[in-house]
Structure formats: structure tokens, C-alpha cells
Amino acid sequence: MGLIVYGAALSPFVRKVRVFLAEKGVEYTLENVNIFPPPDWFAEISPLKRIPVLKDEEADLFLADSSAICGYLEKKIPSPALYPAEVADYGRALWFEEYGDSELAGHIGMGTFRPMVVAPLMGKEPDIATASKTIEEKLPSYFHYLETQVGTREFLVGDTFSIADIGIATQFVNFSHAGFKPGPEAYPNLTGYLTRMHARPSLAACIAEETAMLDKALKRTA
């Protein structure tokens, strides 16, 4: 099919697209792009200089933004469906995707992943104070909301895995990479849900690949 994903594996937005493609059973190539700073040519395919970008060689198309990419792929490869068919569920799925992209990504990424993972990769000491403050002051309200939304359901929306689950579960992978997880006593529903989602083959494969990559990189900087 000739699909290329440009980006970095540890980006939750790149991970989101990779999981989406894996759930569709579609092969693709991942081309690593470091956007700190991005290469000059990257602005031509990503005007905002953000990852991921999808190249569909068959359609002669470059498409930026993980949500746009997933929406495009759903139309191009409709089975198995990863967006709910029922209109209310469809709306809720889009909401959870946005909640992950706009809210969780910032707090988990800037508040825990960067101080605890990116800092050591750059030869700096982990910033435990920043991570602790984020976990204690900023994340509980988000965890509580998701705890109530998951409840006893297997999936966030409807009775099948969807973009809602991809949008939320992929963000929490970076929280795990930083060495944290929501407390099972305070958030039993959320903890169980994330355990199930991260065990899915599409997500588990990404997590294993990223963990090995991080272990190797951190050993080099030790």
C-alpha cells in the first residue's frame, strides 16, 4: 500500500498512528524524524513542524496531525472499524481522542516524561520534583475523570476497541516509561483498563520496542 509514517517512536502521537495501523493490519514504514530541531525539508510536509506525518504513496499524499491521519485511514481502510457507527458513541470517541491529545499529552509529557526520561537521555539528572508536583497536583483530576468514565466497561465507548481507547491508552505509555502508573487503590477501574489496553498486541508491540530502545539509550548515557 506504500504507507510511510514520519516521526519518533516515543511520541504518543506517532504511537497513536502506529497502533491504529496495527489494528487495521496494515504494513507501513516508520521513518525516524528528530524535530528538536526539525530538518529543513520537514516543513514542506508538516507546516507546523510536528510529528507524525503520513505519506500515502498510492494517493500521492502527505498528511500531518495524528487525528487527521487516523480519520483518513479509517476512510481508506474501513475494516475493522475503529470509529463507532452509532452517532452518540462516535461523538464521545472523538471527545476522548481530543482529551488525550490536548490534556493528557501536555501533563504527562511535559510533567513526567520529559523530566524523568528526556532529561537523563540528555545527560541531566531526573527532575523528580517536577514529576512529583505534576502527579500530586495536576494529574489526579484527570485520573478521577477517567476512573468514572471507564467504570466497569471493557472499553471507553461502546463494546469494541476504538479511537477513544487508542487516544487515551497511548498517552499513558509515556507515563509508564517515566516509571509511574495511576495508583490501583485510588483508581482501580483506570488501572485495570490500562492493563488491558497495554496488553493488546498493537500496543504491546510498541511498548516492547520502545522499552528496549530506551534501555539501550539510557545505558549509553549512564
* Average pLDDT value over all residues in the chain: 96
> In this predicted structure, what is the pLDDT of residue 219?
83
Which residues lie across from 31 on neighbouring strands? 6
Alpha helices in 4-137 (DSSP H): 12-24, 66-76, 87-99, 105-108, 119-121, 128-133
Nearest to 33 by CA among 23, 25, 24, 43: 43
Do residues 100 and 70 both lie within one domain?
no
Instruction: Name which residue leads in pLDDT, 39 or 23.
Output: 23
Any domain includes 93: yes
Give the global pTM: 0.96
> In this predicted structure, what is the pLDDT of residue 35?
83
- Say yes or no to pLDDT of 207 above 80: yes
> In this predicted structure, what is the pLDDT of residue 38?
87
Question: Out of 29-38, 99-108, 185-194, which region has the weakest mean confidence (pLDDT)?
Answer: 29-38
CB atoms within 10 A of CB 206: 21
C-alpha–C-alpha distance, residues 49 and 35, integer Å: 7
Any domain includes 96: yes
> In this predicted structure, what is the pLDDT of residue 222?
65
- Say yes or no to pLDDT of 1 above 70: no
- Say yes or no to pLDDT of 162 above 80: yes
Any domain includes 138: yes
- Say yes or no to pLDDT of 12 above 90: yes
Which residues lie across from 7 on neighbouring strands? 32
| Number of domains the chain is built from | 2
Do residues 35 and 103 both lie within one domain?
no
Do residues 51 and 71 both lie within one domain?
yes
> In this predicted structure, what is the pLDDT of residue 25?
97
- 76 exposed, middle or buried (CB, 10 Å; 0-12, 13-18, 19+)? middle
CATH for 132: 1.20.1050.10
Q: What is the mean pLDDT of residues 32-48?
A: 91
- Say yes or no to pLDDT of 133 above 70: yes
Q: What is the mean pLDDT of residues 3-21?
A: 98
Query: Can you give the residue range of the structural domain that contains 56?
Result: 3-76
Please state, for a pLDDT cut of 70, what percent of the chain lies above it. Answer: 99
